[in-house]
Amino acid sequence: MIQLKSEEQIKRIGEACTLTARLMEELETFIEAGMSTKDIDQYCHDFIIRHKGIPSFLNYGGFPASACVSVNEEVIHGIPSTKKIIREGDLVSVDLGINLNGYFSDMARTFIVGETKEEYRKLCEVTRKSLDLGIEAAGKNGARIQDIGKEVSRHCSQHGYGVVRDFTGHGVGLAVHEAPEIPNYSAPFLPNPRIREGMVLAIEPMINLGTHKVSILEDNWTVVTQDGLPSAHFEDTVAITRDGLVILTRG
């Protein structure tokens, strides 16, 4: 069941989102070649605790870290490790949420480490643009959930990219994951509820340079592209208010 939030609840969720956006901004300059993905996770954990929050991903469903840190062909849910070292040119996707006094954020960004291939940079640019287009679709009068994925898929497919189908965006705010699911594509067989005031949504295109097909590694968490080509992941939490759509994770 979709939980509609009150103005006060959206305000509190927004506080968690603002804090998350601050952390992502800091990661832009923190992440560099030579560090491990565990170093990134530790930075995120320490930031959240220092600001009186709780890492909402830590131990969620058994996930062993505060942030999902996924590198190159890892699409989502990468488990941070001291053995996974960041290299020049890598694409590093960080996905995390903060529980701030019982209100939850969710946000992801793909960071380019130093200089990388032009095709990798373009993948990130197109994925980021698809997020903007999905958000724009969600904010239109009378919009439905599938309008989001329709725009994401349209934009990314015209560049020849694979749109991940096995994982979706979702509702958020009073829990880490809530209804509805928000696919990054559209199809007649998918649910298509109308977007209404009070909804808080985590919209998150996961876009691959090659095939849309993915696999889960033996750790039962890390999702990778089946062809080994890189993936990009951008996510924002948005709220539908009486004054229109507000992107909570952009300040």
Residue 36 lies in a domain: yes
* Low-confidence residues in the chain, pLDDT < 50: none
> How many angstroms separate the CA atoms of 17 and 84, rounded?
28
Q: What is the pLDDT of residue 173?
A: 98
CB-facing half-sphere around the CA of 36: CA atoms within 13 A:
9
Spell out the residues 6+ positions from residue 80 whose beta carbon is closer than 8 angstroms to its own.
36, 37, 38, 40, 41, 42, 65, 67, 69
Q: What is the pLDDT of residue 219?
A: 98
Look up the CATH number of the domain holding residue 78: 3.90.230.10
Residue 2 lies in a domain: no
Q: What is the pLDDT of residue 168?
A: 98
Q: What is the pLDDT of residue 45?
A: 99
Residue 1 lies in a domain: no
Residue 156 lies in a domain: yes
Q: Examine residue 180 and say whether the peptide bond preceding it is cis (omega within 30 degrees of 0).
A: yes
Q: What is the pLDDT of residue 84?
A: 98
Q: What is the pLDDT of residue 85?
A: 98
Return the amino acid letter for 137.
A
Residue 43 lies in a domain: yes
Contact between 3 and 13 under an 8 Å Cβ cutoff? The reply is no
Domain coverage including residue 192: 7-250
Residue 179 lies in a domain: yes
Q: What is the pLDDT of residue 248?
A: 98
Sheet of 223-225: strand order equals 74-76, 223-225, 214-216
CB-facing half-sphere around the CA of 89: CA atoms within 13 A:
6
Residue 77 lies in a domain: yes
Please give the tally of structural domains in the chain. 1
Q: What is the pLDDT of residue 227?
A: 98
Q: What is the pLDDT of residue 123?
A: 99
Q: What is the pLDDT of residue 44?
A: 99
Residue 158 lies in a domain: yes
Burial bucket for residue 119 (CB in 10 Å: 0-12, 13-18, 19+): exposed
Q: What is the pTM of this model?
A: 0.98
